[in-house]
Structure 1
Amino acid sequence: MGGDTGNIVVSGDHWNGPGVFAAAGTRVAVTNAREEAKAPEYMITASNNEDGVAVFFEKSSE
């Protein structure tokens, strides 16, 4: 589509995350994600049980 991937935010917690994460500028994994779904360059947020993605967006909009 020709868009700027730097403006894309993805989140994940399972094995299919890394493929999706490759297309995004900001990569967020929840703390309880499987290890293979986390990488050192990913931002880590609260668990999905603690609304981790919402926590990330709230903190990033401050």
Structure 2
Amino acid sequence: MGTKNGFLTLAIAFAAGFVIALALLRAPGPVTTEKTDRLAGSSVETAFLPERFGVPPRNP
């Protein structure tokens, strides 16, 4: 059983090292560098307006 556990430990260590190496070697920064269609409009035209979810506008 010791040899089997040794191979399992070695395989897990190799897989963990591979995942860590991929994470470190990946280019940093955003995946997309341009605005998506959802964010293409002005800031007042986004999908996050409270009025779209039934929240009445505040009166100043």
Q: TM-score range by the shorter chain?
A: under 0.3
Larger strand proportion of the pair: 1
| TM-score between both structures, scaled by the size of structure 2 | 0.19
Greater fraction helix: 2
Larger radius of gyration: 2
